[in-house]
Amino acid sequence: MEISAELRPEITGGKMSILALEMMAEQGSAYPLISGSTFMVLGWFVIDRISEQETTFFADGTPRAISFSMSLKRVDDSLLANIIDEVAGFI
């Protein structure tokens, strides 16, 4: 699955949000993909790849817009079951 989006640092997340996603990708762990409108978990995914492009800059050179895309790989149900069991153990 490929997701593309644009961040506007003065309104939404900025470089720190991209860095957080890059750290998640480096860990190779599965994370839930949650719908922003229904808050339903759409599945568990591993981040395979992230690319970004900074555009439209402020006078000081910081980006006013950061376009990014990331490639997600859905994990299998057995891994999902293991994760749910681990989370349930904390509750």
Q: What is the pLDDT of residues 19-62, one digit of tens each?
A: 999 999 999 999 999 998 999 888 889 999 999 999 889 999 98
Q: What pTM, to 2 d.p., does this model score?
A: 0.73
Q: What 3-state DSSP class applies to 86?
A: helix
Separation between Cα atoms, residue 23 and residue 72, nearest integer Å: 14
Q: Which residues form the domain of 19? A: 2-90
Q: Confidence band (pLDDT; 50, 70, 90) for 77?
A: low
Q: How many domains does the chain have?
A: 1
